Amino acid sequence: MFITHDLSVLTYACRQLAVMYAGRIVEEGPSFEVFANASHPYTRALAAAFPTIGDQTSRMAPSGLGGDPPTPGNLPQGCPFHPRCPLAHDACLPAEPGLRISGPGRSAACVLV
């Protein structure tokens, strides 16, 4: 097991990966495919949070994710990521989405998949 927030490291260290948010798997699949073409908005935010080596522009202004993660004992109703998600809408609120097939050997827990 290898735990990190740096998805680029996982593309070289692991064949498969699982991305977790608030203690739940939100995306899983072949590491390079997940990193290169994330299905879940949290995975996209993780991939975008790290600067590109050799690119001074991204190094000086890496993108990030606004807000704070939820308290584990007080998760919001529905998708636990929806308060921070740039793509959140009403379908995210009624119930937490389960993992859905998002490609060959891949799955993501998002109503948009």
Averaged pLDDT of the chain: 88
Residue 66 lies in a domain: no
Residue 60 lies in a domain: no
Decide: pTM greater than 0.95: no
pLDDT of 58 strictly over 60: no
- Count structural domains, the chain: 1
Q: How confident is the model at residue 66 (pLDDT cuts 50, 70, 90)?
A: confident
Each residue of 69-95: pLDDT tens digit? 899 899 999 999 999 999 999 999 999
Residue 11 neighbours by CB distance under 10 Å: 18
pLDDT of 1 strictly over 90: no
- Cite the beta strand spans of 12-70 per DSSP E: 16-21, 24-30
Residue 104 lies in a domain: yes
Residue 81 lies in a domain: yes
43: containing domain: 7-52+74-108
pLDDT of 63 strictly over 80: no
Residue 64 lies in a domain: no
Residue 58 lies in a domain: no
Q: What is the pLDDT of residue 60?
A: 60
